[in-house]
Structure formats: structure tokens, C-alpha cells
Amino acid sequence: MSDAAQPTAAEVRAAAEAVKTALDRHLAAVERRTGDDDPAVYEAFNELAAAAEEYDELLYDRYDEVTPFEIPGAEDTLPRYEGPEEPNALSVLIRRDYAVVEPQRLLAQAERVEAVEEEGATATAGFDAASGTVHGALGVLFGEFEPDEIASRHKEFGLEEGDSTLWVTAADEPAEPGDWLEAPFDEVDAQRVVCRFDVSSVFDDELDDELEDDLAPDTELVGGGLADADDVADDEDR
């Protein structure tokens, strides 16, 4: 940035004072909060985030310095809940991703299910096995087992877990039977999401990175725990 475009020292100081004011307002709103979804706290949070972002930008432009603050942006959070205070109905939306890592195990499990079904069939001559292909085997297994059981036994079925998410959304009334079956996720209103739970290996990677950054230079991870590098060397000598 050119010198002409740089903010003045007074502008940076004013932005710092705005952060202090926003911080006081946020604390006051939290102290007076009336519930988990108090709109005053939500508004104060947004004001603090905006003030901190403005100060950070001006500080960098003027002095080439940054703040240690990291406030999640709007794209990282759900919007403020706008649904009914006492929902009469709920929808639970779940997505789980898997990778097929052992196709033969998957096929073998589907064949076992079909063998049981074939034994119980009254007319086995017309039995049409679907387990000979991967997509057919998936249809057999997901038709036989509940999704939660597959999630808990995924390794038995030759699957590897990927990301998963669960959203609980509030509704005024239960949906009419058959209304959303063709497109179950198309009409999700983010402002009616009561809670959301995400699981991803990305989070584990971030935690691992943070742990490694926090370790002293002479510290290593040993057997899932922490040990001093000198202790490791002593163990190797023994």
C-alpha cells in the first residue's frame, strides 16, 4: 500500500478505542443475557467482530502488524436462530460419507445377507442376487441395516468413514407424508437449525498441528504421549 493510502496513526488509535468499547458492550450484554439465543448478545458479538477486523486491517496497513485475535466470520457460523421458541416438530438431517476400501469384504457381507434371505424365500428359483456388484452390495446392506448400525460396524463392511454432519431443524408442524422425499435437503432453512454437529478428519489434523506447534524443540511424541528428547535418547541407549 502506498504512503498516501495508509491510515493515520489517529485512525488506528480510534479503531483501537472502538474495539475497547465493543468489548465492554459485549461483556455487558453477556452479563445481562436472558437465554442462549439472546439477540443482544448476538448483536454485540457482531459489533465486536467488525470492530476487531477493522482495527486489525488498519494496524496492518499502518504498522505492518497483526493482532492475535481470531473471531469466526459469518461464513463459519450458522445464522441466528429464527425458528419457534417451542418447536412442535423436528427434522434431523444426516449425511455420512464413506470410502469403499475393501470391496471383497463388502461383497462377502452382502452375499451373507442374501443367503439368509434366499433360505427364507418360498420360491428360490426366482431369487435375483444383487450382491455381485459393489453398487448392488451397497443396496443390499443399506436395505438390511440401519444407517447407525452401518456407521458403528463400517469396518466389517469394508468401508472407511469420511466426514459426517447432523443438523436438527425446527418446524411449526410435521411435514405432510411424502412431501420432501424426492429432495430431502432442498428446503433446509439455516435460521431454523437448532443445533449442528460436524465430524471431520480436518479437525483432528488441526489439533495435531496445534499440538506440534506447542511442543518444545526438544520434545517428541512417544507412544501417544509426550516425552523429552533426552529421555528418548536414554531409552534408546538402554
Residue 131: the pLDDT is 61
The residue among 130 and 53 whose pLDDT is bigger is 53
Average per-residue pLDDT for the chain: 79
**162/168 Cα distance (integer angstroms):** 20
pLDDT at position 216 over 60: no
Residue 49: the pLDDT is 87
Find the DSSP H helices in the chain. 9-31, 39-63, 103-120, 134-144, 147-152, 201-214, 229-237
pLDDT by residue (tens digit) across 59-101?
A: 989 998 988 876 554 445 567 788 888 889 999 999 999 999 9
Which residue from 36, 58, 56, 38 is spatially nearest to 48, judged by alpha carbons? 56
- Torsional sign, CA 117, 156, 141, 90: positive
For residue 45, how far is the Cα from the chain centroid? 21
Written as nine digits, the cell of 73 is: 466470520
Largest CA distance in the chain: 88
**201/162 Cα distance (integer angstroms):** 7
Q: How far is CA 39 from CA 27, 45, 76, 193, in A?
A: 14, 10, 19, 16
The residue among 162 and 131 whose pLDDT is bigger is 162
The residue among 58 and 217 whose pLDDT is bigger is 58
User: Strand pairing partners for 36?
Assistant: none
Written as nine digits, the cell of 3 is: 504512503
The residue among 39 and 93 whose pLDDT is bigger is 93
pLDDT at position 2 over 80: no
12-18 mean pLDDT: 94
Question: Is residue 232 very low, low, confident or very high in pLDDT (cuts 50, 70, 90)?
Answer: very low
- Percent of the chain past pLDDT 70, that is, above it, reads 74
